[in-house]
Structure 1
Amino acid sequence: MIWHLVAAVFAGLAAAGIGLLLRTISRKRLPKWIVPVFGGLGMLGYQVQFEYDWFEHKQLQLPETAQVISSDTSSNMWRPWTLIFPITTTFSVVDSENVRAQTVDGDLVAKFILYQFERRHTDLITTQPYILNCSSRELIPLNPETGDADLNELRTLRDTSPLLTTVCQLANERQT
């Protein structure tokens, strides 16, 4: 976090230097306020660039066996540029190394961990183990400590769910 502050300050100083250079080239015909305005725009530009690159940066940090299942974008009034171009703030990942498959009563059942990344002032990563019945499309969360199924939270996924498609494909590969 401290390095982003340092980077923002240096981006501001570099942009202020450009403003000062432009003022010098124009033989001081440009107003004095151009230097701090350029500095502020440089810091703001760095912050905007950092926010939009967060998703790609996090993807590069994931292992090769990780597959992004879904991503969500958001817009905020205090970030007016996101009203035009929403930024990715959360995404979900399944690591193919963690998918375990078995056949139960003729149904393919996969056990896996879903990782959810959320962009906040510090990145939030939550992990949740699940059991997925690929035949009936039933998804059941497991208690992370005991491994017991929480049947109250059972839900049925749509046929087009990327989570269903990805996990069941990985489970089929594990079976063969």
Structure 2
Amino acid sequence: MLLEFIATISAGVGAAGLILGMQKLLRLPLPNWLMPASAGIAMLAFTIWSEYSWASRAEAGLGEGKLVAMTVDKKQIWRPWTFVFPVTTQFIALDKDSAKVDGEMVQVDMYLVARRSESAIVPVAFDCLLSRRADAFDLPEGDLTQANWFDMDKNDPVLRTACDQLR
């Protein structure tokens, strides 16, 4: 978050510097409001770009072989542009390279990624036949007999991604 703040301030200083350079180069008096207005517009534009490009940049940072199963898009009052186009603030991705398929069971690493929060990798198992999920934290490799299963809606996007695209 600190780096984003520094980048936003840098965008404003850069825009103000361009106006100053234009004023010196053209030797024309420009309106006094032009420099702070251009700095403000540049900072706002950078902030909007950063918000909307975060999800694709975070997904690319996960590397090859990750399937985005679900995104959480939000509208926020302090970002009025999100009422026109909601911004992605979280997503869940599944690692198809780590997937182990055994009939109707799929074991895979699930990536929980949120903007301005720590990401987490959770080993999970999906039972495609019974539409349920189990966290596989402390389970022995491949042993799901002691798993604590959670029922899921059969149309859940994470379950559908695991069962339809990884199986």
Common topology (TM > 0.5): yes
Paired residue for 1:127?
121
**How much has 1:99 moved relative to structure 2?**
1.5
- For 1:13 and 1:27, the matched residues in 2 are separated by 21
- For 1:29 and 1:66, the matched residues in 2 are separated by 51
- For 1:75 and 1:170, the matched residues in 2 are separated by 30
Paired residue for 2:77?
77
**How much has 1:26 moved relative to structure 2?**
8.6
Q: Which sections of structure 2, spanning at least 5 residues, go unmatched?
A: 140-145
CA contact (8 A) 1:90 1:118 kept: yes
In the TM superposition, 1:130-145 aligns within 5 A as 130-142=124-136, 144=137
Paired residue for 2:162?
167
The CA deviation string for residues 95-130 of structure 1, in whole angstroms up to 9 with x for no partner, is: 012212224xxxx2122221111012xx42123222
User: Quick one: which amino acid aligns to residue 132 of structure 1?
Assistant: F
Residue aligned with 1:97, SS: coil
**How much has 1:53 moved relative to structure 2?**
0.8
Structure-2-length-normalised TM-score: 0.81
- Corresponding residue pairs, total: 160
- For 1:165 and 1:76, the matched residues in 2 are separated by 29
User: Quick one: which amino acid aligns to residue 161 of structure 2?
Assistant: T
In the TM superposition, 1:9-158 aligns within 5 A as 9-20=9-20, 27-28=28-29, 30=31, 32-103=32-103, 108-120=104-116, 123-142=117-136, 144=137, 146-147=138-139, 148-151=146-149, 154-158=150-154
Q: Which sections of structure 1, spanning at least 5 residues, go unmatched?
A: none
Distance 1:52 1:26, change over 3 A: farther
Q: Percent identity?
A: 25
The Cα RMSD (Å) is 2.4
CA contact (8 A) 1:109 1:134 kept: yes
Distance 1:26 1:74, change over 3 A: farther
User: Quick one: which amino acid aligns to residue 152 of structure 2?
Assistant: T
Structure-1-length-normalised TM-score: 0.77
- For 2:45 and 2:27, the matched residues in 1 are separated by 24
